[in-house]
Amino acid sequence: MASLWSNLRFRGLLYQVLVVGAVVALGGWLVHNTLVNLAARGIATGLGFLGREAGFDISESVIAFSPSDTYARALLVGLLNTLVVSGLGIVSATVLGTLIGVARLSGNWLVGRLSTVYIESIRNVPLLLQLFVWYGVVTSLPVARLALHPLPGVFLSNRGLVIPGLDWSQGWLPILDIPHLAGFNFVGGLTLSPEFAALLAGLTVYTAAFIAEIVRAGILAVPKGQTEAALSLGLSRGQILRLVILPQALRVIVPPLTSQYLNIAKNSPLAIAIGYPDLVAVSNTAINQTGQAVEGVALVMVVFLGISLALSALMNWYNKRVALVTR
Amino acid sequence: MIMQDPPIVELNGVNKWYGDFHVLKDIGLEVARGEKVVVCGPSGSGKSTMIRCINRLEEHQSGCIVVDGVELGDDLKAIEAIRRRVGMVFQSFNLFPHLTVLENLTLAPIRVAGMTPAEAADTAMALLERVRIPDQAAKYPGQLSGGQQQRVAIARALCLKPKVMLFDEPTSALDPEMVGEVLDVMTALASEGMTMICVTHEMAFARAVADTMVFMDEGRVVEVAKPALFFDHPANERTRRFLGKIIGH
Amino acid sequence: MSRPLSWAKANLFGSPASSLLTVLTLALLWQVVPPLVDWALIGASWGAGDPERCRAAGGACWTLLTERHRLMLFGVYPYDQHWRPALAVALFIALLAISANRRCWKPWLGGAWALAVMIFAALMWGGVLGLAPVETSQWGGLPLTLVIAVLAIAVAFPFSILLALGRRSGLPAIRAVSVGYIELVRGVPLVSVLFMASVMFPLFLPEGMTIDKVLRALVGMTLFTAAYLAEAVRGGLQAIPRGQFEAADALGLGYWRSMRLIILPQALRLVIPPIVNQFITCFKDTSLVTIVGLYDLLAASKAALNDPAWRPYFVEGYLAAALVYFCFCFFMSRYSQWLERDLRQGNR
């Protein structure tokens, strides 16, 4: 026994068996307790509930939904809402963050200072608090009749943000659909609900502060000699940025940028605090109605893991391409 | 030479692969107690890998390695026993930067050999005297020159009173003006009767100190000879070419 | 040309584009700053009073803070006992300040923190030394935020070291378990983890066993933080040259001793700045316990604005809460940056 214990391979095997055994035992114990508890409370298990009628309405949806649809469709609506807000958030945060990051590096003292103030004050305050403020601001806007009208066709009111949209229903050429006030509400155009607008604003503004720092660090990582070499070739400032600095900076920028994109997706469930029906919010309603917390939470986790894996796979592919091109 | 004692280090038919790459091919080597062996060969010939197998920093896949009567295998007790009897000096010193010189030296005696701190400190100071830097005991490795660091590393390896010392290119990472001080310490050590296996390109040192020269190429031991014979009348063509290159400049 | 003028020429009007940018920014500031000053200072309502007073003043309603700051800072903790959470918070802040000093990085600091947590618990819970007992359901505000953030990091830390070592282990099953845990947790939103903690933990436990709501949130935060900390620690482990592992092996130290004596002391030194950053994140993330119904600083601030008469002044309320978060996070992030430079320079 003693010599077996001192055998390298045996000991390695033993450690592994012990750890895996402990994990399996813990998992089994939790599953057992859960099953007992669920049985005691008369809660069903399994994914059968997905096929049943949801019975609740969802305030906004990109696909048709009514309370008589199934839980599965309700969750799909939630997922699509999550994807929409994350996708738009990624685009707008990248644009805003890049602008601020470049502004911070600009030779202009005033602009640089303002960018620093922005970054420091946004980064150091919890996103959820910022969301509450955004939601408060959006909902305390004037009623539709007295809506703010900053640009032609754009209305800001406590009903949300209304912007011109494209109408494809009149044949193959889209018609610009400019919203106008009719009675107490707007007709035509695209309406972003207050919840959606607040969430998008919050995610954009918050993440942009982090992206700005990433962009700045990426640009600073390009050696100064590169700019000097490009200047000596007679390239203009704009050309240098576009042709010399950015392609090199991107290699440094892309990996941390990926994790910021993931953060947008993972922060989007904060929607629940302001009532935007994203995946987590919908699944919580489902959990409250059916009691099937395990399945609901597990589904959400699986979906987010899927999003994470997909995004990092995409970024890895991009990263590889960038690395090859510049080497 | 007539050997009454069994060899202290014995490698027999040792093979090692990194994936598909066959690094060590059928290595056989015997080192007698007190013998000084210098291993040389072109880079990538497997000489570092070979001596790193002797204290199991690398695992060999077949063949047998016996150190001081203990066979090296999967048995942890055997590995521990061998590591206590075998001291090692690395190319890049590998001193522990967060510990003082003295702490570097007393760590293993206290933790592995179970000495009291006072005893360990006495041994350590004696060793620092031997490598001629007793006044640096309280400093951190980063505050020393490369040559001093390597001498500390030699002292550290001697702390467990090893029966065999392995040197893995101990002077390759040093500035040229510091090579001498390290070789002096090694020569002194050799004259005290320590069994030594050195991988090095310092041919003058080899000629002066070695009892046996080993030439390796492409994972094989190509030639084993006395230094006089080895340097003046190398038997193998590859040895001749290698020596021509290395002594030529 | 005088110094300020030449400075302005270089830094504000360096090129036509820069000049344009300066002019546009100044115009924007001119639009924004005077009304802001008017709102925040000139037209603001100061001192005690009721919402009516704010409406009359027309500007910022700092009266809200005078009236409601205790609710915001301490939540629904019994009003006449507020000195206890105040003292508990002061204790934590003092200890944070002491911990920032590198000369205090001695073993006794760990003991001091353990003691501080015990004093904190005694103060908040009561039931000892003649203090009236207070249920955790009545805890709230800044002390709750602080204790969750501090304990989550403290408990997650040893766990994260094991995870990081596991991820770098040569044993495939142990590596798989560590990687699985780390990647699973990092792929999932904190909100989900907190929901799991609050909804599912009661199901996980044997029948009849209940688990305190604050403890549930704390366990959720800890499990979540551990995965991120483990990645920070792994970064430190990867930065240690292979030669250190080999030298330790050659001395016959064995795995655990070489980790404890050689590798971790060096690796953990490297990861102190990332750990401080993780603490900042954790501190901000603590606000998410609001969603599972705990009254941390954010939720307490929100609750303070629940009164319809005060609700129009939500900006002032949230600004104040934001300022508290900002002070903690800003100083800690500055500290972490300084520390990183200092450790790099002082690296012997």
**Which phi and psi angles does A278 have, rounded to 5°?**
-85, -175
What's the sign of the alpha-carbon dihedral A142, A146, A152, A153? positive
Q: Is the Cβ pair C200, A293 closer than 8 Å?
A: yes
Amino acid at A297: V
Q: Is the Cβ pair C204, A293 closer than 8 Å?
A: no
Contacts with C277 (C-beta within 8 Å, 6 or more apart), sequence order: C333, C336
Is residue A60 scored above 70 in pLDDT?
A: yes
Q: What is the arithmetic mean of pLDDT over C115-141?
A: 83
Q: Is the Cβ pair B74, A3 closer than 8 Å?
A: no
| Higher-pLDDT residue of A161, B88 | B88
Q: Which of B15, B22, B19 is nearest to B53 (CA)?
A: B15
Confidence of residue A324 (pLDDT cuts 50, 70, 90): low
Chains meeting C at 3+ CB pairs closer than 8 A?
A: A, B
Is residue C348 scored above 50 in pLDDT?
A: no
Q: Which of B247, B210, B248 is nearest to B229 (CA)?
A: B210
Scanning every residue of chain B, which has its alpha carbon at the shortest distance from the alpha carbon of C250? B83
By the CB < 8 Å criterion, does A235 face chain C?
no
Do C284 and C329 touch, CB atoms closer than 8 A? yes
By the CB < 8 Å criterion, does B71 face chain A?
no
Is residue C1 scored above 70 in pLDDT?
A: no
d(CA C272, CA C251): 28
Report domain extents, chain A.
Answer: 71-326
Q: Are residues C94 and C36 in the same domain?
A: no
Is residue A10 scored above 90 in pLDDT?
A: no
C55 within some domain: no
Amino acid at A8: L
C329 within some domain: no
What's the sign of the alpha-carbon dihedral C115, C118, C124, C128? negative
* pLDDT value of residue C346: 57
By the CB < 8 Å criterion, does B94 face chain C?
yes
> Mapping DSSP to helix (H, G, I), strand (E, B) and coil, where does residue A264 land?
helix
Name all domains of chain B by residue range, CATH numbers in brackets: 9-94+164-248 (3.40.50.300)
Task: Give chain B positions within 8 Å (CB) of A7.
Answer: 74-76
* pLDDT value of residue A1: 47
Assign residue B162 a region: left if phi > 0, alpha if psi is -120 to 50, beta otherwise? beta
Do C181 and C227 touch, CB atoms closer than 8 A? yes
Burial of A100 (C-beta count, 10 Å sphere; 0-12/13-18/19+): buried
Scanning every residue of chain C, which has its alpha carbon at the shortest distance from the alpha carbon of B162? C251
Do B105 and B156 touch, CB atoms closer than 8 A? yes
d(CA C213, CA C210): 9
* pLDDT value of residue A148: 79
> Mapping DSSP to helix (H, G, I), strand (E, B) and coil, where does residue B14 land?
strand
d(CA B195, CA B35): 5
Burial of C50 (C-beta count, 10 Å sphere; 0-12/13-18/19+): exposed
Tell how strand A165-167 and strand A175-177 pair up. antiparallel
Q: What is the arithmetic mean of pLDDT over B38-47?
A: 91
Contacts with B128 (C-beta within 8 Å, 6 or more apart), sequence order: B101, B102, B105, B134, B136, B137, B152, B155
Q: Which of B71, B76, B82 would you mutate first to test chain A, the one with the most A CBs within 10 A?
A: B76
- The interface predicted TM-score of the complex, written ipTM, equals 0.89
d(CA B83, CA C249): 8
Is residue C246 scored above 70 in pLDDT?
A: yes
**Which phi and psi angles does C131 have, rounded to 5°?**
-80, 135
pLDDT tens digits, residue range C313-330? 888 889 989 999 999 899
Do C302 and C141 touch, CB atoms closer than 8 A? no
Confidence of residue A6 (pLDDT cuts 50, 70, 90): confident
d(CA B121, CA B123): 5
C162 within some domain: yes
**Share above pLDDT 90 across residues of chain A, in percent, rounded to a whole number:** 31
Which range among B78-92, C39-53, C190-204, C282-296 shows the weakest confidence by mean pLDDT? Answer: C39-53
Q: Is the Cβ pair C314, A136 closer than 8 Å?
A: yes
CA angle B151, B156, B159 (to 5 degrees): 130
Amino acid at B91: Q
With residue B132 as reference, give the H or E element that holds it. Answer: none
Name the residue among C25, C177, C204 with its Cβ closest to that of A110: C25
Is residue C45 scored above 70 in pLDDT?
A: yes
Is residue B2 scored above 60 in pLDDT?
A: no
What's the sign of the alpha-carbon dihedral C181, C282, A274, C139? positive
> Mapping DSSP to helix (H, G, I), strand (E, B) and coil, where does residue B167 land?
strand
Is residue B221 scored above 90 in pLDDT?
A: yes
Amino acid at C212: D
By the CB < 8 Å criterion, does C158 face chain B?
no
* CATH number of the domain where residue C87 is located: 1.10.3720.10
Q: What is the arithmetic mean of pLDDT over C203-219?
A: 83
Q: Is the Cβ pair C173, A19 closer than 8 Å?
A: yes
Amino acid at C336: S
C163 within some domain: yes
d(CA B181, CA B202): 13
Q: Which of A3, A4, A5, A8 would you mutate first to test chain B, the one with the most B CBs within 10 A?
A: A8
Can you read off the two tokens belonging to residue A130?
A: 């910022």
- Alpha-carbon distances, residue A164 vs A63, A154, A221, B18 (angstroms): 20, 7, 41, 65
Do C19 and C13 touch, CB atoms closer than 8 A? yes
Task: Give chain A positions within 8 Å (CB) of B77.
Answer: 3, 6
Amino acid at A265: A
Is residue B210 scored above 90 in pLDDT?
A: yes
Interface list for A 70-109 with C (CB within 8 A) = 106-109
d(CA A209, CA C27): 23
d(CA C267, CA B155): 25
Interface list for C 194-253 with A (CB within 8 A) = 195-196, 199-200, 202-207
Q: Which of A101, A296, A310 is nearest to A214 (CA)?
A: A101
Ordered alpha helix ranges (H), chain A: 2-5, 8-41, 71-105, 109-123, 127-139, 194-220, 224-232, 237-239, 246-267, 279-290, 293-326
Q: Are residues C259 and C154 in the same domain?
A: yes
Scanning every residue of chain C, which has its alpha carbon at the shortest distance from the alpha carbon of B93? C243
By the CB < 8 Å criterion, does B81 face chain A?
no
Q: Is the Cβ pair A7, B79 closer than 8 Å?
A: no
d(CA C82, CA C142): 12
Q: Are residues C266 and C152 in the same domain?
A: yes
Task: Give chain C positions within 8 Å (CB) of B97.
Answer: 266, 347-348
> Mapping DSSP to helix (H, G, I), strand (E, B) and coil, where does residue B184 land?
helix
- Alpha-carbon distances, residue C107 vs C104, C111, C160, C331, C332 (angstroms): 9, 7, 20, 24, 22
Tell me which fold the domain A71-326 belongs to.
MetI-like fold (1.10.3720)
Chains meeting B at 3+ CB pairs closer than 8 A?
A: A, C
Is residue B156 scored above 90 in pLDDT?
A: yes
By the CB < 8 Å criterion, does C97 face chain B?
no
Ordered alpha helix ranges (H), A221-290: 224-232, 237-239, 246-267, 279-290
> Mapping DSSP to helix (H, G, I), strand (E, B) and coil, where does residue B203 land?
helix
Q: What is the arithmetic mean of pLDDT over B215-225?
A: 92
By the CB < 8 Å criterion, does B157 face chain C?
yes
Is residue C210 scored above 80 in pLDDT?
A: no
Q: Which of B70, B111, B161 would you mutate first to test chain C, the one with the most C CBs within 10 A?
A: B111
Confidence of residue A297 (pLDDT cuts 50, 70, 90): confident
Size of interface A-C (CB pairs under 8 A): 156
C230 within some domain: yes
Q: Which of B52, B94, B104, B136 would you mutate first to test chain C, the one with the most C CBs within 10 A?
A: B94
Entry field: residues in chain C:
348
Can you read off the two tokens belonging to residue B38?
A: 């210098």
Amino acid at C217: A
* pLDDT value of residue C105: 81
**How many angstroms away from the CA of B53 is the closest CA of chain C?**
11
Confidence of residue A264 (pLDDT cuts 50, 70, 90): very high
d(CA C328, CA B49): 53
Do B173 and B92 touch, CB atoms closer than 8 A? yes
Confidence of residue C345 (pLDDT cuts 50, 70, 90): low
C314 within some domain: no
Confidence of residue B196 (pLDDT cuts 50, 70, 90): very high
By the CB < 8 Å criterion, does A8 face chain B?
yes
Burial of B74 (C-beta count, 10 Å sphere; 0-12/13-18/19+): middle
**C197: containing domain:** 80-298
d(CA A122, CA C142): 20
pLDDT tens digits, residue range A186-226? 777 777 888 999 999 999 999 999 999 999 998 888 888 88
Can you read off the two tokens belonging to residue A94?
A: 């990248």
CB atoms within 10 A of CB A97: 25
Task: Give chain C positions within 8 Å (CB) of B83.
Answer: 249-252
Is residue A273 scored above 60 in pLDDT?
A: yes
Can you read off the two tokens belonging to residue B43?
A: 């880079």
pLDDT tens digits, residue range C286-323? 999 988 888 888 888 888 888 888 878 888 889 989 99
Most confident of A219-233, B120-134, C34-48: B120-134
Is residue B36 scored above 90 in pLDDT?
A: yes
Scanning every residue of chain C, which has its alpha carbon at the shortest distance from the alpha carbon of B81? C252
* pLDDT value of residue A171: 66
Q: Is the Cβ pair C199, A293 closer than 8 Å?
A: yes
Q: What is the arithmetic mean of pLDDT over A7-23?
A: 90
In chain C, the number of structural domains is 2
pLDDT tens digits, residue range A69-78? 888 889 999 9
How many helices and strands in chain B, by DSSP H and E?
9, 10
Beta bridge partners of C174: none
| Higher-pLDDT residue of A154, B206 | B206
pLDDT tens digits, residue range B47-90? 999 999 998 999 999 999 999 988 988 888 888 889 989 999 99
Q: Which of C242, C244, C251 would you mutate first to test chain B, the one with the most B CBs within 10 A?
A: C251
Contacts with A163 (C-beta within 8 Å, 6 or more apart), sequence order: A153, A154, A179, A189, A190, A192
